[in-house]
Amino acid sequence: MTPREMNGTSSTHHDNPTTTSRPPHSHPNPQQQHHHHRPHPPPPPHHHHHSSSSASFKGCCCCLFLLLTFLGLLVLAVILVIVLAVKPKKPQFELQQVAVQYVGISSSSATTPSASLSLSIKMLFTAVNPNKVGIKYSATQFYVMYRGVPLGLASVPGFYQPAHSLRQIQTTVSVDRVNLLQADATDLLKDATLNDRVELRVTGDVGAKIRILDLTSPRVKVSVDCVIVISPRRQSLTYKQCGVDGLSV
């Protein structure tokens, strides 16, 4: 092949451009196209149902609260009417009698003044209920003291007292060789030997509650504060004072 022919052949290849294969136009799948443009369905009306339930629950709570408030006010009104009708008064609880059973005083060491006191006294308390309803008393204890030093306790059990009644409660205080030192012992020996009088103090608080239709009122405190004077020689009571009234025996 001559150079000219070769050149013509070469030019022939250059004159015919290379045809590139174009991919056929792809049409979208009708199902995919339909799925892509398909509108979303509206959400179910759960929100309105929840709102109505919440409103109903709040309404029930408000009704229950109003009902309880009404019942509470009704109970308070009934109690107030009963209290105004009954007109409760403070009960009376007093130390009525004191009986000395035994009084013994002994001294010990001379270098360090000390004394021991043995005592047994019987006390009679009187409870008066001036109210139209009953009173419930709680158990209490009365302290027997000499110059502020506790010597013993007198216990009174709890009891119920009917309306417009009087009740007597008896208790005994026993003191067995209580030691008093220094100043208290000196005063005790002086009071017993020289003056023949030993002054004791009986004090305590009694808790009482008024009962109305099986309901009890708040606790009312009745205080007892008495001074008694005992003669060791005669083994008897010589003076008793409770509150402002004094009684000499």
pLDDT for residue 161 = 93
- Residue 81 sits at the vertex; the CA angle it makes with 75 and 86, to the nearest 5 degrees, is 125
Shortest CA distance to 105 belongs to which of 195, 214, 22, 227? 195
Average pLDDT, stretch 5-19? Answer: 45
pLDDT digits (tens, 9 = 90+) for 193-221: 889 999 999 999 999 888 776 667 778 88
What backbone torsions phi and psi does residue 163 show, to the nearest 5 degrees? -70, 145
Q: Write down the mean pLDDT value for the chain.
A: 77
Burial class (CB in 10 A: 0-12, 13-18, 19+), 185: buried
Shortest CA distance to 87 belongs to which of 212, 223, 215? 212
pLDDT for residue 58 = 75
Q: Which domains, from first to last, does the chain contain?
A: 92-235 (2.60.40)
Rounded distance between C-alpha atoms, residue 134 and residue 164, angstroms: 8
Residue with tokens 């050149």: 7
pLDDT for residue 115 = 83
Amino acid at 89: K
Rounded distance between C-alpha atoms, residue 161 and residue 29, angstroms: 101
Residue with tokens 């004077």: 229
